[in-house]
A = this chain, B = another copy of it.
Amino acid sequence: MDVFKAIKTRRSIREYQEREVEEEKLQRVLEAGRLAPSAKNIQEWRFVVVRDKETKEKLAQAARNQAFVAQAPICIVGCATITDYRMTCGQKAYPIDVAIAVDHMTLVAVEEGLGTCWIGSFFEDQVKEILSIPDEVRVVILLSLGYPSFQPPPKPRLPQEKVISFDRWGW
Binding site for B on A (CB under 8 A): 1-4, 6-8, 10, 12, 28, 30-37, 39, 41, 43, 45-52, 55, 64, 79, 87-93, 95-96, 98-100, 103-104, 107-108, 110-111, 118, 120-124, 127, 131-134, 137-141, 155-158, 160, 163-171
- Majority secondary structure, A binding face: mixed
B163 touching A45, Cβ below 8 Å: yes
Roughly how many angstroms separate A51 CA and B168 CA in the complex, as a whole number? 10
B89:A141 contact, CB within 8 angstroms? yes
Oligomeric state, in copies: 2
**Which B residues touch A133, using CB under 8 A?**
169
Least Cβ–Cβ distance between A40 and chain B, in angstroms: 9
